Structure 1
Amino acid sequence: MLKHFSYKQFGNLVFSERTLAENYLSTIDEHIKILFIPKNAVIQVDFQKFAMETDALLFINPKVVLKPCETVEGRLIHFNRDFYCVEIHDQEVACDGILYNNVFEVPFIALNESQSTEIQAILKEVLSEMENEDASTEEMLRTLLKLIILKSIRIWKQQHHLAENDQQADVQFLRRFSKLVEQHYKTLHSVADYAELLFVTPKNLSKKIGLLSKSTPNDIIKDRIILESKRLLAHTNMTVKEIAHSLNYEDDAYFIRFFTKNTGVSPVSFRKQF
């Protein structure tokens, strides 16, 4: 089900191998997404498979390749930036907020039973609202969408022990670093580059990130470059040399060594797998 409000688009559909048309997800590739996934579902996000141990929410940026691997049915909300996530929205609930700009981990929100019941109730309201055609439908859908995001941010902070007011600076630093990596990973490859943008020393950057993540800043930058390399290899016809240059590697031989060292396979072998 997809609604159009002028240039604004909002959709809501059942997410499973059984219900999705083969190429439907590619038609909404540019949409931002929220996926409710029930316990025991198996999905593939980019190139990793995940089996859900609990009900969960997943927050998905455009271009992320999503695929259901089991027939357990989830619920996918998808929308374009015209519908939601304009820059005037509050930082945490905008598309550059922590749920949509988190390079530290795949942004799953595990839900306990009561949280899952609450989220599913909102999703039912969304489904009901999409059947309406009155003047308030667009704003009601946007309000329900923001409610899901706000509740999810609260749960995420609690799970990461960042719910107290005196820890807000840590959350904001996390957001800033995540956002900078997402903006600049194609051109800036060193920890020192990001430390300079954040007005801290590389040592302090590593120390701050160490409080919030098991990965080092260098690992986070490297992993983002590798992920983009995999996406381009699997989903475009670009040559390895073109991919290397698009990621600011002038020496494609160096890029091939970098990719092979970090994935265990060469770029050409990886492309053949997909």
Structure 2
Amino acid sequence: MTGIGHQAEGDVIRTFPFPADLAVGGVGMQIGPMGTDHRWHVDAPLHRVHRIDFHVVMLFTGGPVRHMIDFAEYEATAGDLLWIRPGQVHRFSRESVYRGTVLTMQPGFLPRATVEAAGLYRYDLPPLLHPDPAQLAALHAALDQLRREYEDTETLPSGLHTAVLRHSLTACLLRLSHLAASAAETSRQHADSTFTRFRDAVERGFPTNHSVSAYADSLGYSRRTLVRAVRAATGETPKGFIDKRVVLEAKRLLAHTDLPIGRVGVAVGFPDAANFSKFFHLHTGQTPVAFRAELR
């Protein structure tokens, strides 16, 4: 590939484009076996945090595999699927052996109606999916068919080959979308309404409010009720849930911007830079400066 990754102003994580020159026939998708030599670009730092501007779907036939997406670690094993969407940061694990099928797709390869129907930009959906046996068999069949169409460049003219690929890819993505939406709905159905209200309040208020009591008061719950609901839904305490959200936002700001450490602290509710550094180190084992330096 001859192009280079690009960086937006102030962005310290490189973004790599879809490797169109590596695709069969130059189409806007690729599918094949995972391998240690697979990379988006000759300069892509697969074992360092980086961003891609296309979709990646990995269906595993082995494991366990640990993979970081948007600063959250996911563990996948045989039969699991990871879906990374454009713009998300991620990192491959040096310790894991990636086995299975990988599908990559350029955002503009499918028509808008298909993109919307398949929910390709539903960033609220979970990236790690666990298909049941029937769903897994259907996914394997759909991906095998897509791979055969992708590799067959002899039996159809170029234009028809691309059209068939789009249809086959659409079928795969509609299955994936249904699986992701079903997983999210199941999660929502199991979530206690008390926790759901708390989660939404934290999402709105975490930049300035880190107090469990303040959230309980504003929602009209006792502290004990809130503790029970959050622990049942997440296994964490309300304070742990709030702190995790604050740490995630701090990591995003440290990674995506060149804001001074003190400004990052203010953005997540710490007017004092020293207190922010202590908080960040307590929860990550690194100082904000060390975390940022590791990504560069």
| TM-score computed with the length of structure 1 as normaliser | 0.64
1:227 maps to: 248
1:54 maps to: 78
What percent identity do the matched residue pairs reach? 21
Find the aligned partners of 1:81 and 1:192 in 2 and give their Cα distance: 47
Find the aligned partners of 2:53 and 2:217 in 1 and give their Cα distance: 32
Find 2:162's aligned residue among 133, 145, 148.
Answer: 133
SS in 2 for 1:65: strand
Q: Is the 8 A contact 2:139 2:172 kept in 1?
A: no
1:127–1:250 CA distance, 2 compared to 1 (3 A): farther
> Displacement, 1:119?
2.3
Find the aligned partners of 1:196 and 1:143 in 2 and give their Cα distance: 48
Q: 1:186-197 residue pairs with structure 2 within 5 A?
A: 186-191=207-212
2:234 maps to: 213
Find the aligned partners of 1:174 and 1:80 in 2 and give their Cα distance: 35
SS in 2 for 1:35: strand
Listed one character per residue, the Cα deviations across residues 216-242 of structure 1 (whole Å, up to 9, x for unaligned) are 333222112213323444565433123
Find 1:19's aligned residue among 25, 32, 38.
Answer: 38
SS in 2 for 1:39: coil
SS in 1 for 2:236: coil
Find the aligned partners of 1:172 and 1:98 in 2 and give their Cα distance: 19
**Quick check: 120-129 or 171-180, which moved more?**
171-180
> Displacement, 1:57?
1.4
Listed one character per residue, the Cα deviations across residues 133-182 of structure 1 (whole Å, up to 9, x for unaligned) are 23x8656634531311323454677xxxx59xxx8373787777666655
1:65 maps to: 90
Find the aligned partners of 1:260 and 1:147 in 2 and give their Cα distance: 42
> Displacement, 1:255?
0.9
SS in 1 for 2:129: strand
**Quick check: 60-69 or 173-182, which moved more?**
173-182
Find 1:124's aligned residue among 110, 130, 144.
Answer: 144
Aligned length: 252
1:209–1:230 CA distance, 2 compared to 1 (3 A): same
1:148 maps to: 176
1:188–1:30 CA distance, 2 compared to 1 (3 A): farther
Q: Is the 8 A contact 1:45 1:67 kept in 2?
A: yes
Listed one character per residue, the Cα deviations across residues 8-44 of structure 1 (whole Å, up to 9, x for unaligned) are x964455543111342878863555543233225343
Q: Is the 8 A contact 2:50 2:91 kept in 1?
A: no
Find 2:274's aligned residue among 253, 261, 271.
Answer: 253
2:154 maps to: none
Q: 1:29-178 residue pairs with structure 2 within 5 A?
A: 29-31=52-54, 33-40=56-63, 42-46=65-69, 52-60=76-84, 62-69=87-94, 70-74=96-100, 75-78=102-105, 80=107, 95=122, 97-99=124-126, 107-111=127-131, 115-127=135-147, 132-134=161-163, 138=166, 141-154=169-182, 162=186, 168=189, 170=191
Find the aligned partners of 1:50 and 1:112 in 2 and give their Cα distance: 18
> What stretches of structure 1 of length at least 5 have no aligned partner?
4-8, 100-106
1:77–1:178 CA distance, 2 compared to 1 (3 A): farther
| TM-score computed with the length of structure 2 as normaliser | 0.60
Q: Which of structures 1 and 2 has the bigger CA Rg?
A: 2
Find the aligned partners of 2:55 and 2:214 in 1 and give their Cα distance: 29
- After superposition, the CA RMSD in angstroms is 4.7
Find the aligned partners of 1:259 and 1:51 in 2 and give their Cα distance: 24
